[in-house]
Chain A
């Protein structure tokens, strides 16, 4: 429903139309609002709770993180300005570098795996039958299960002896037994697999929404032109899903960057630091060793990384569209 349609509609005739979530340009919708006069403070009254809470729990903490990152935090003694010393210390530390590398591996693995599997799943379960609705709901369950439960469940499934659940499955195809999260060689990959198990169904749902938006006429045209299914997917479906890919990429990559709970519960960074990621490192620096300045510097760097990633992908997207 566009703005003009809404205006042309007689008052109150179809209040339900409000239910449609429409995409419009912001500038067009503002014009009409001017007619409602009223005291200047009314909008601020409605906004006050949000503004206070955002100030207290988003903006002040962010400012505090930045300010602590350039200070040596000394409780009761007063903080000491150290400039970029925290940054240079953390950037030159071996632990930070390996945690950065692990975080990148985790983020790339989870992003690629979830998107690829999510796309395949979406193709497989697209359709309107009742059976498919059931399968879709079942496949989506991992997304709504609390991450702490997912981690505890997989921890047991990853039991390193031959009678662990997943090792029994590996045994069926003649492999195993693997140490999974207990073996430094497979620990990070195991966390990636758990992440994909939870991330792929989410991506699947978004892809399904994207698939529903593809013009069926294009499929018919492809059939008329004698295109194979493979060609149809490559040349009709994939280009149609391009914006979905861009958004899922940002969401999944940021999800990978900020990964904490599953790592904390499955391995807590071990064995031998093989799964230490930035968030678990920051947690240990800040809360276990109480080195707030260094931990804040790490958090600010991680935030900058997610920001740069988001902005880059958005810019690439704009350029391609233009």
Chain B
């Protein structure tokens, strides 16, 4: 059989010249539509833009001036704020999820189903909808009576409650063979030893998934930082883009330069960890 049966459309398998031309046109079109605007962003951020309405597609008179102006407007501070939030937020999220995943996957105890259902139910709770009452909790944390509004800590601690990561860790840890754990137990290893030295090292792929997803999710956050940051000192970089744009003396080139800095970390993480990304995407969506 010469007919193509490897893909649904069979487009990639046809060797005829017409198919070859069609393929090239389609791929070029896709590239222009999806990557083109980002290339325009890249070029504009290095171009001297005098016209306030325009993006530049063709590089001419390259300059670093946009970045310099952006830094003068405090972009470096906002970038550091962003890294601070994503660093500690991710650390907290991963630590909490790994611990919870261990209990849910490797133990059986009364109330376990209830805990699992309660955690999973929060996945149906879009964080945007919770944002409003969440700020009230952050303004006066129950029992502790702390006010976390206007602080980076206020953006970080709510990140610890992330059901997706717990779900991924739980599913993964369930598949670690029981015999490994039992052998360690017979050798006298305690609970924390088993967790830290037997189970956790075997979970690297899952750690990759929740790390990459956690990073892009936290980096993408907007509404919660917007509500928590009561003054510009605690702005993250995505929040600062709007302030920059509203500033009448700032040109689009500067906004694009700041945007480039805001997109590079998450794009880099995606490009370096594409396999973890693809795995998490299907695990998250297809398990639903």
Verify B112–A265 contact, CB threshold 8 A: no
- The A-B contact count (CB < 8 A) is 340
Verify A47–B30 contact, CB threshold 8 A: no
How many angstroms from the CA of A154 to the CA of B255 in the assembled complex?
12
Verify B107–A146 contact, CB threshold 8 A: no
Query: Within A268-294, which residues are at the interface with B (CB < 8 Å)?
Result: 279, 282-283, 286-287, 292
Verify A219–B5 contact, CB threshold 8 A: yes
Indicate whether A84 reaches chain B with its CB closer than 8 angstroms. no
Which of B100, B115, B119, B279 is packed against the most chain A CB atoms within 10 Å?
A: B100
How many angstroms from the CA of A65 to the CA of B158 in the assembled complex?
16
Name the residue of chain A whose CB is nearest to the CB of B174.
A29
Verify A43–B107 contact, CB threshold 8 A: yes
Query: Within A14-36, which residues are at the interface with B (CB < 8 Å)?
Result: 15, 17-23, 29-30, 32-36
Verify B142–A50 contact, CB threshold 8 A: no
Name the residue of chain B whose CB is nearest to the CB of A233.
B8
Verify A147–B5 contact, CB threshold 8 A: no
Verify A43–B180 contact, CB threshold 8 A: no
How many angstroms from the CA of A50 to the CA of B92 in the assembled complex?
10
Among candidates B115, B239, B267, residue contacting A47 with C-beta atoms closer than 8 Å: B115
Verify A58–B122 contact, CB threshold 8 A: yes
How many angstroms from the CA of A56 to the CA of B148 in the assembled complex?
13
Contacts A153-B37, A257-B126; is A223 near B271 (CB within 8 Å)? no
Contacts A47-B100, A58-B122; is A144 near B223 (CB within 8 Å)? no
- Chain A: residues with Cβ within 8 Å of the partner, total of 125
Name the residue of chain A whose CB is nearest to the CB of B245.
A152
Verify A206–B175 contact, CB threshold 8 A: no
Name the residue of chain B whose CB is nearest to the CB of A251.
B285
Verify B125–A62 contact, CB threshold 8 A: yes
Indicate whether B80 reaches chain A with its CB closer than 8 angstroms. no
Indicate whether A186 reaches chain B with its CB closer than 8 angstroms. no
Indicate whether B15 reaches chain A with its CB closer than 8 angstroms. no
**Interface positions of B (Cβ within 8 A of A):** 1, 3, 5-13, 26-27, 30-31, 33-35, 37-38, 40-41, 51, 53-55, 57, 95-97, 99-100, 102-104, 106-109, 112, 115, 118-119, 122, 124-126, 128-130, 132-134, 136-137, 141-142, 157-158, 160-161, 166, 171-172, 174-183, 185, 191, 195, 202-203, 205, 216, 219-220, 222-223, 227, 238-239, 241-242, 245, 252, 255-256, 259, 262-263, 266-267, 269-271, 274, 278-279, 281-283, 285-288
9 closest cross-chain pairs (CB), A and B: A11-B179, A148-B238, A46-B103, A50-B100, A127-B12, A61-B133, A43-B103, A64-B133, A53-B160
Q: A7-B178, A18-B172 are in contact. List 9 more A-B contacts (CB 8 A).
A: A15-B177, A18-B177, A36-B106, A146-B222, A209-B278, A211-B8, A292-B132, A299-B133, A302-B129
Q: What are 26 A-to-B residue pairs whose CB atoms are below 8 Å?
A: A6-B177, A33-B106, A42-B107, A57-B130, A58-B125, A58-B161, A60-B133, A61-B130, A64-B136, A121-B30, A124-B26, A125-B30, A142-B37, A148-B222, A149-B238, A156-B53, A164-B53, A197-B33, A205-B278, A209-B281, A216-B6, A220-B5, A223-B1, A223-B3, A251-B288, A258-B126
